[in-house]
Chains A and B, each alone.
Chain A
Amino acid sequence: MENETTGDQFSEEVENRLQNLFGEEEPSEAAEIKSADIKPHPLRELKTVILAIDWEITDEIMASFVEQVAVFQDTYRNDKIVLVFLQLLGSIGEYIRTHLGQSHPDAFKILTSLFTELERIVQSEDLTEVERKKILSVELGKYKKLKNQLMPSKALADDRRSVTAATSDRSPVGGVQPEIIKAIEDLKLFIQQELRILREEIKKLREETGAGQRS
């Protein structure tokens, strides 16, 4: 690039090009950061931990997460929908705490998604009860999908039983380490327990809503 113009002219020319390209759509004043009308975030501590999990997973962070979920479960004990959200978060958090870096990649996505929607529910005062339930239902669907991915298929379980019966004196069996089988069984049991609790919560919620609509 030859130096055909002076430095100032050149800078001006670059500025003009950039102004043409990015000029009018720069963020408006409204998008600027204003500290005057800051409202405290209702889930601030939990959000801090979620953002930390997004970065790295340590025992300390996960312990803090479980602690924060428990605190908010107490704070929102009278809001059934928020409570179910917190239980789902607690359940996934427990799974991540157990499996750390080996957790299913979708577990992190669902954790984030659950928290984003929980934030929306807690912060939006204009959401109706129906809308809140709809949001919960979508998130519950994602949770169940993950659960199904984590559960070993019935066929696999059957195969494993037959192989175990035939070669019970050998270990590892068919390349599957007993510790892995044990871990899967534990996880299965854990998820079943969590789902049972959630089902009870949803049932209660439905009963209450049904009673509310009838009255």
Chain B
Amino acid sequence: MAFVNPKKKEVQVKIVYYGPGRGGKTTNLEYVYDKFSSRIKTEMVTIKTHGDRTLFFDFLPFDIGKVNGYDVKIQLYTVPGQVKYNATRRLVLRGVDGMVFVADAMAVRREKNILSLKNLQENLANYKRSIFKVPMVLQYNKVDLAEQGIPILPVETLEQDLNSKLKTASFPASALMGTNVVATLKKIISLTMASIVKDLK
């Protein structure tokens, strides 16, 4: 549930980018930070390992301005995708308002995507949250690799694997090139804000 401060007229919205390791979660945030740092005027916090892998999480906060008289503060988080960091992933999910699931469109990662989504479902269940009730957007990242002849899963396959039950918005994307990074972000913010208002009714 979002943190709402009626006195200060402020809402804090927590959005978590989830998905398998090396799928492009951090790259999404880095793209947003690099492109819009002059507007969002905040710092991105990131903690990496030796091999440039996300160890704990990335954090990018920014304000979107006033909505319905309230100052809306968005907090973007990523989780470490590597299997061994499940405790951290679970911790980052605490109090999440919206999710972006960043799937890796490479054919060799098909199973990892499915396992990661299942892991998300389990971790949300730990907080008594249903994956079907948390606002979510799916992003099929790395589709640009098809240009280089790398085998990529067709969007239909990704939809079948990941979105057949969720039936939520999805975007083929290239976080590295920035394709659909902003579209994904805008969509999850809209969905999450709508969900918060609905809950407050």
Where the two chains meet, the residues of A that have a C-beta atom closer than 8 Å to any C-beta of B are 1-5, 7, 10-11, 13-15, 17-18, 20-22, 25-27, 31-33, 35, 38-41, 44, 47-48, 51-52, 54-55, 105-106, 108-109
**Contact in complex: A33, B143 (CB < 8 Å):** yes
**Contact in complex: A26, B182 (CB < 8 Å):** yes
Q: How far is the CA of A18 from the CA of B50 in the complex (A)?
A: 35
For window 44-80 of chain B, which residues contact chain A by CB distance below 8 Å? 49-52, 62, 64-70, 72
Known contacts A14-B189, A22-B182, A31-B179, A109 near B148 by CB under 8 Å? no
CB of B174, distance to nearest CB on chain A (Å) = 7
| Contact residue among A21, A38, A41 (Cβ-Cβ distance under 8 Å from B40) | A21
User: CB-nearest residue of chain B relative to A39?
Assistant: B147
**Contact in complex: B194, A13 (CB < 8 Å):** no
CB of A62, distance to nearest CB on chain B (Å) = 15
**Contact in complex: A105, B194 (CB < 8 Å):** no
| Contact residue among A15, A21, A38, A39 (Cβ-Cβ distance under 8 Å from B36) | A21
Check if B109 is an interface residue, CB within 8 A of chain A: yes
**Contact in complex: B36, A1 (CB < 8 Å):** no
CB of A120, distance to nearest CB on chain B (Å) = 13
Q: How far is the CA of A48 from the CA of B189 in the complex (A)?
A: 34
Chain B residues whose CB sits within 8 angstroms of the CB of A11 once the complex forms: 190, 194
Q: How far is the CA of A105 from the CA of B51 in the complex (A)?
A: 6
Chain A residues whose CB sits within 8 angstroms of the CB of B51 once the complex forms: 105, 108-109
Q: How far is the CA of A67 from the CA of B181 in the complex (A)?
A: 36
Q: How far is the CA of A109 from the CA of B50 in the complex (A)?
A: 9
Q: How far is the CA of A188 from the CA of B196 in the complex (A)?
A: 61
| Contact residue among A4, A14, A33, A106 (Cβ-Cβ distance under 8 Å from B193) | A14
Chain A residues whose CB sits within 8 angstroms of the CB of B11 once the complex forms: 1
Check if B128 is an interface residue, CB within 8 A of chain A: no
Known contacts A21-B65, A31-B179, A55-B109, A41 near B22 by CB under 8 Å? no
Q: How far is the CA of A105 from the CA of B178 in the complex (A)?
A: 28
Q: How far is the CA of A1 from the CA of B70 in the complex (A)?
A: 7
Known contacts A14-B67, A14-B193, A17-B72, A25 near B36 by CB under 8 Å? yes
